[in-house]
Amino acid sequence: MLKFGPAGNSDRFYAEGYKSTQQAMAWLKNIGLTAYEYSFGRGVSLSDDMAEKIRLKAIEHNISVSAHAPYFINLGNPDPEKRENSFRYILDAANAVKKLGGERIVVHVGALTKLERSEAIDNCRNGLTEAYKRLDNAGLSDVIICPETMGKYSQIGDLDETLDFCLLDERMVPCIDFAHLHALSGGGLQSEADFIRILDRTEEMLGLDRARRLHMHFSTIEFTKAGEKRHHTFDEPDFGPRFEHLAPQLFARGYHGTVICECKGTQADDAAKMQTIYGALHG
């Protein structure tokens, strides 16, 4: 079975009077969810005491925890100091997710800056290899780096680039962000056939076993000619993609990874909607 959950805490969580992420674990269970992605996007800042409280609550309520590494990471940048910072952000996120009881960290691998795309990609490939060497040396070899597909043309991480990164180390599992791919293709995910192409390509490059363990982000999104602009909610019909087109394929192929919702403010409720759509396929 797939696990469903939100990225961070939704507006309704706070509106109902809750304040702490440790409280979110019981709250998520009560609405039928089984996953949670902790965001370290602005930097890793979490005390050991709070991490332990969240870990214990996650175990109690059967919530699978992942984490999003800082947005500042850019392994495409050749500047030695900035590359060292990127490695530090990855190790910090890896340490934090282990303390939270998880093992997956989602990583924005890099951006072009002023480089040719091929050069930036080579830097990213070398950077991911080096990142795993450092994780191994730090006793964090069981952490799963999930390179994320990106939604802007200035970023590294279209579908093939992301899958190719995962060939560097069998421990890596891609984070397929379907909203980003929708934006990058100018609204190209309009039918089940469009999702079939993505899943077929993933299985072709990584094999069925690793594909079935995908880490996925799903939301509706607004985009421009440059790509991603902002996330929206499932209740806004003018924006795609739509989970109804993906769910039947995840069910038919026996996928059992994680689906994290990044809808703006409604991520928990929209994750629950995806859980309902997927659950209905089981009859």
Provide the pLDDT for residue 130: 98
The two structure tokens encoding residue 159: 């579908």
Give residue limits of the domains in the chain: 3-280
Region of 20 please: left (phi>0), alpha (psi -120 to 50) or beta: beta
Alpha carbons 275 and 62: distance in angstroms, whole number? 15
Alpha carbons 261 and 185: distance in angstroms, whole number? 20
Provide the pLDDT for residue 283: 73
Alpha carbons 224 and 236: distance in angstroms, whole number? 17
> Are 96 and 131 a contacting pair, CB within 8 Å?
no
Homologous superfamily of domain range 3-280: Divalent-metal-dependent TIM barrel enzymes (3.20.20.150)
Number of neighbouring beta carbons within 10 Å of residue 114: 7
Mean pLDDT by 10 residues, the chain (283 residues): 97 97 98 97 95 98 98 97 98 98 98 94 98 98 98 97 98 98 98 98 98 98 96 96 98 98 97 97 85
Q: What is the pTM of this model?
A: 0.98
* Beta pairing, strands 215-218 & 258-261: parallel
The amino acid occupying position 232 is H
Provide the pLDDT for residue 282: 87
